[in-house]
Structure 1
Amino acid sequence: MRRGIRLVIFLSAAIVTGAACAENGGGNAEVFAKLPQSVGNIAFTPDNQLIFSHHPFFSPDVRVARLTSPTTFEPFPNAEWNTPRKGTDQYLDNVLGLRSDESGVVWIIDMGFRTQITPKLVGWNTRTNRLERIHYMPEPVTVKGSQPQDIVIDQKNRKFYIADENIGPGGDGSHAAIIVIDMDTGAARRVLDGDRSTVPENVPITVDGNDLTVPGKDGKPSLIKVGCDGITMDARSEWVYFAPLSGRSLYRIKATDLGNEKLPAEELSARVERYSDKPNNGGLSIDYAGNIYLTAVETKSIGIIGADRKFRTYLSDPDMVWPDGITASPEGYMYVSASQVSAAAMFHGGKAENKTPYLIYRFKPIAAGYISR
Structure 2
Amino acid sequence: MKPMLPIEKYFGKLELVYTFFGAMPTGVSVSETGRIFICFPKWGDEVKFTVAEIVDDKLQPYPNLQTNLFNPENIKMTFISVQSVVTDGRGTLWVLDTAAPNFSEPIKGGAKLVAVDLKTNTIRRVYSFTEDVVLPTTYLNDVRFDFRVGRAGYAYITDSSSTGPGAIIVVDLETGTAFRRLNGANPTSPDPFFLPKVEGKILMNRNKDGSTSPFRLASDGIAISPDGKVLFFCPLTSRHLFSISTEVLRDRSILDADLIYHVKYRGEKGASDGMITDAKGTVYAGDYENNSIRKILPNGAMETIAHDPRILWPDTFSIGPDGYLYVIVNQLHRQARFHYGRDLREKPYSLLRMKIGELPAPAF
Asked if these proteins are the same fold (TM beyond 0.5), I'd say yes
Candidates 61, 68, 74, aligned match of 1:88: 74
2:336 is the alignment partner of 1:348: no
The one-letter amino acid of 1:339's match is N
Over 3 Å counting, the alpha-carbon distance change for 1:297 and 1:221 in structure 2 is: same
**Matches of 1:223 and 1:75, distance apart in 2:** 36
Q: Indicate the SS of the match to 2:337.
A: helix
**Matches of 2:288 and 2:42, distance apart in 1:** 17
How does 1:127-206 map onto structure 2 within 5 Å? 127-157=119-149, 158-167=153-162, 171=163, 174-202=164-192, 203-206=194-197
Report the CA distance between 1:345 and its aligned residue: 2.1
Partner of 1:76: 62
Report the CA distance between 1:61 and its aligned residue: 2.6
How does 1:227-306 map onto structure 2 within 5 Å? 227-306=218-297
CA deviation profile, 1:313-365 (whole Å, cap 9, x unmatched):
21022122111000111121110000111112222233222122111001122
CA deviation profile, 1:215-265 (whole Å, cap 9, x unmatched):
58x973111111100101111111110011111211111111111122111
Partner of 1:32: 17
Contact 2:191 2:237 in 1 (8 A): yes
2:97 is the alignment partner of 1:105: no
**Matches of 2:90 and 2:137, distance apart in 1:** 33
* Runs (5+) with no aligned partner, structure 1: 1-21
Candidates 30, 44, 62, aligned match of 1:44: 30
**Matches of 2:129 and 2:210, distance apart in 1:** 32
Contact 1:240 1:252 in 2 (8 A): yes
Report the CA distance between 1:367 and its aligned residue: 2.9
Aligned residues: 344
2:349 is the alignment partner of 1:362: no
Q: Indicate the SS of the match to 1:303.
A: strand
**Matches of 2:56 and 2:311, distance apart in 1:** 20
Over 3 Å counting, the alpha-carbon distance change for 1:342 and 1:372 in structure 2 is: farther
What TM-score, normalized by structure 1, do the two folds share?
A: 0.87
Contact 1:294 1:302 in 2 (8 A): yes
The one-letter amino acid of 1:159's match is Y
How does 1:11-22 map onto structure 2 within 5 Å? none
Contact 1:211 1:223 in 2 (8 A): no
Over 3 Å counting, the alpha-carbon distance change for 1:372 and 1:339 in structure 2 is: farther
Report the CA distance between 1:55 and its aligned residue: 4.1
Report the CA distance between 1:197 and its aligned residue: 0.8
**Matches of 1:308 and 1:36, distance apart in 2:** 41
CA deviation profile, 1:291-310 (whole Å, cap 9, x unmatched):
11101122221111123424
Candidates 222, 235, 255, aligned match of 2:213: 222
Over 3 Å counting, the alpha-carbon distance change for 1:144 and 1:215 in structure 2 is: farther
Contact 1:99 1:372 in 2 (8 A): no
User: Which stretch has the larger CA shift, 37-46 or 332-341?
Assistant: 37-46
Report the CA distance between 1:107 and its aligned residue: 0.7
How does 1:108-123 map onto structure 2 within 5 Å? 108-114=95-101, 116-118=107-109, 119-123=111-115
**Matches of 1:372 and 1:342, distance apart in 2:** 32
**Matches of 1:219 and 1:182, distance apart in 2:** 45
4+ residue runs of structure 1 moved beyond 6 angstroms? none
Q: Indicate the SS of the match to 2:132.
A: coil
Report the CA distance between 1:212 and its aligned residue: 1.9
Over 3 Å counting, the alpha-carbon distance change for 1:23 and 1:328 in structure 2 is: farther
Report the CA distance between 1:95 and its aligned residue: 0.9
Over 3 Å counting, the alpha-carbon distance change for 1:339 and 1:92 in structure 2 is: same
Report the CA distance between 1:372 and its aligned residue: 5.7
* Runs (5+) with no aligned partner, structure 2: 1-7
Report the CA distance between 1:370 and its aligned residue: 3.8
Q: Indicate the SS of the match to 1:194.
A: coil
**Matches of 2:291 and 2:42, distance apart in 1:** 20
Candidates 312, 320, 323, aligned match of 1:321: 312
Q: CA RMSD in A?
A: 2.1
